[in-house]
Amino acid sequence: DTAVSQTPKYLVTQMGNDKSIKCEQNLGHDTMYWYKQDSKKFLKIMFSYNNKELIINETVPNRFSPKSPDKAHLNLHINSLELGDSAVYFCASSLTLYDSFNVLTFGAGSRLTVL
Amino acid sequence: GQNIDQPTEMTATEGAIVQINCTYQTSGFNGLFWYQQHAGEAPTFLSYNVLDGLEEKGRFSSFLSRSKGYSYLLLKELQMKDSASYLCAAMDSNYQLIWGAGTKLIIKP
């Protein structure tokens, strides 16, 4: 039973296309996140949702739109893909947001390649 | 600004001990996390320190000095499977995690 599952694992697409990545967690956590990990391996927070409510929206282009239909799901839609969007996108969840001992459980990652 | 520094890469020998250092600057502090990330896989939680001192968990230990803004991860009796990147992350006063770029640890036989 995968705790945080995201699909697809690999995405290869052309510039200008629109794509979506789905994420689901079965841990009963209240908080979910999208992270981007680029070729230099920096993990950068993009969005966090707490009980379906957007909490953090870092300086991400508005081509990226997260959607949380319920607290177990957080999807990421990307419009008009650009070369610089190529990266690994990780979904993660945690029990809650406002707690110092806030351990993240990550999904396996979705590797997006924009040609 | 907020910042995490850790070495880019380290090499060690199987069976040996290695210490991976991390220095941090954050607005407030709510704890220091270490995660392990094998190539092509997701990061997984290793340890958490919020008070000064050493936390030991099997072959892995993590140390924190809040006054120095410094932590280290100590790995003993290194095994080939310990080859991975080790990510240091500090939590600021807004409960946001500030991540380092990770230290790639290469274990040689």
Print pLDDT tens along chain B (109 aa): 889 999 999 999 999 999 999 999 999 999 999 999 999 999 999 999 999 999 999 999 999 999 999 999 999 999 999 999 999 999 999 888 999 999 999 999 9
pLDDT tens, A72-111? 999 999 999 999 999 999 999 999 888 888 899 999 999 9
Across the interface, whether the CB atoms of A45 and B45 are under 8 A apart is answered no
Upper half-sphere CA count for residue B7 (Cβ side, 13 Å): 13
Residue B95 contacts A, CB cutoff 8 Å: yes
| Omega cis (within 30) before A8 | yes
**Residue among A42, A100, A105 whose CB faces B50 most closely:** A100
From the CA of A105, how many Å to the nearest CA of chain B?
7
- Report the alpha-carbon distance of residue B27 to residue B3 in Å, rounded: 10
Least CA distance to B103: which residue of chain A?
Answer: A41
Cβ-count burial of B106 within 10 angstroms (0-12 exposed, 13-18 middle, 19+ buried)? exposed
Whether the CB of A10 is below 8 Å from some CB of chain B: the reply is no
Q: What is the nearest CA distance from B42 to chain A, expressed in angstroms?
A: 5
Q: What is the dihedral of CA B64, B65, B68, B70, to 10 degrees?
A: -10
Which residue is associated with the tokens 């969007």? A85
Residue with tokens 């697809």: A8
pLDDT tens-digit readout, A21-76: 999 999 999 999 999 998 878 899 999 999 888 887 778 999 999 999 999 999 99
- The amino acid at A4: V
Q: How far is CA A33 from CA A28, A51, A80, B95, in A?
A: 14, 11, 22, 13
Determine the number of helices (DSSP H) and then strands (DSSP E) in chain B: 0, 11
- A74 to chain B, closest Cα gap in Å: 17
Nearest-angstrom CA–CA distance, B82 and B106: 8
